[in-house]
Each structure stands twice: as structure tokens, then as C-alpha cells.
């Protein structure tokens, strides 16, 4: 067993090494907090996802490619419209100004998280009738689709009332 003076010397040497590394005492917490800021593996304070702008024209192409119009009406757009039987998603022309990009992203990749209650969009098990597009849509297509959805505006003179029939009817006062 080493003498007490040898143990003290070894402890002092170890303490010196550790204190230089920022891993001892109150410094450890500060070093850890600093390492979780910018320039390290931690999340920077105040960090927020900044969704890229995307291209609405390419987003319209993605809307067509993924057959979104088979379930979603987009008033004022020359797109295939869903049949009354298949119009199981919300009308989209009025959605652009209502939601941030992140909402549309979640609606596409995790549609069950954005279901409006009592609108007729949920399946019997409570999940969304809309499929997730995680396995078929590229990130660029998602970015562009979100840009397209955000660019949509209600047609001139359209009323912004709720749809009837659980999402299957028209806005009041519109044909």
C-alpha cells in the first residue's frame, strides 16, 4: 500500500490533470453546459428548425405525383378534384396562411398527429385516413410540397367557414 504522502501526490497530480480538462468540481457542469452550446454535439440555446423555402411549382408536381388530389380538394386550382366519395381530407386552398411549414411537414410524415377531431378524417381506429409518405417521398419533394401548400390562397370571394359533413361538403355559401 502506498504511503499517505504518495497517495496525496498521486491525487494532486490527478486533480491537476482533471482540472485542466474542465472535468472537476463546478467547472464540470460549466464545461458540460458550454459543450452543449454551439460548436459541439449539444443543441444550441434557442435553436429552431428553419425549413427551407422550396419551389411551389415543383411542389405542385409532387402534389400530382403523390395523387394528393384524390382526397384533397384545392379550390381555384386546375387540378383533378376528388370525387364526393373520396374527398376524405380537408380542402387545402385556405390552409396556406393558417399553418407554419412544420405543421405541413408533420401532416405528410405523421398524419395521425394532425387530425382535426370530429371532422371525419380519422379511421375507425383513430389514426389518419391519410397515409404517411415517409417511404416514397424524397426530402426535396417534401420541401417543395410544403412550399406549394403554403403558397395556396383561397379563391377570390371564397368564404372561410367550416366545411360541412365532417370534411366532405363545401364551405357554406360556395357552390
Domain boundaries, the chain: 56-156
- In the block, residue with C-alpha cell 459543450: 35
Distance CA 129, CA 57 (A): 26
The pLDDT value recorded for residue 92 is 92
CA-CA-CA-CA torsion sign (117, 125, 109, 165): negative
pTM: 0.65
pLDDT by residue for the chain (175 residues), tens only, comes to: 555 454 444 444 434 444 444 444 444 444 544 554 555 678 888 888 889 999 999 999 999 999 999 889 898 888 877 777 777 888 899 899 899 999 999 999 999 998 888 888 888 898 999 999 999 999 999 999 999 999 999 887 666 544 433 333 333 333 3
- The DSSP bridge partners found for residue 122 are 128
Cell numbers describing residue 5: 504522502
Question: All 3 cell numbers of residue 97?
Answer: 396562411
Say yes or no: domain 56-156 is CATH 3.40.630.30: no
Q: Which residue has 398527429 as its cell numbers?
A: 113
Amino acid at each position: 500500500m502506498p504511503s499517505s504522502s504518495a497517495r496525496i501526490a498521486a491525487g494532486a497530480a490527478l486533480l491537476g490533470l482533471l482540472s485542466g480538462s474542465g472535468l472537476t468540481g463546478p467547472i464540470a457542469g460549466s464545461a458540460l453546459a458550454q459543450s452543449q452550446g454551439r460548436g459541439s454535439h449539444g443543441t444550441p440555446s434557442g435553436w429552431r428548425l428553419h425549413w427551407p423555402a422550396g419551389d411551389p411549382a415543383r411542389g405542385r408536381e409532387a402534389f400530382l405525383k403523390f395523387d394528393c388530389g384524390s382526397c384533397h380538394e384545392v379550390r381555384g386550382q386546375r387540378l383533378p378534384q376528388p370525387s364526393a366519395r373520396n374527398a376524405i381530407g380537408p380542402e387545402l386552398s385556405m390552409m396556406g396562411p393558417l399553418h407554419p411549414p412544420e405543421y405541413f411537414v408533420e401532416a405528410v410524415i405523421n398524419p395521425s398527429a394532425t387530425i382535426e377531431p370530429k371532422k371525419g378524417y380519422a379511421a375507425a381506429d383513430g389514426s389518419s385516413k391519410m397515409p404517411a409518405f415517409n417511404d416514397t417521398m424524397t426530402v426535396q419533394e417534401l420541401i417543395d410540397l410544403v412550399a406549394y401548400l403554403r403558397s395556396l390562397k383561397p379563391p377570390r370571394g371564397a368564404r372561410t367557414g367550416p366545411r360541412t359533413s365532417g370534411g366532405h361538403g363545401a364551405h357554406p355559401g360556395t357552390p
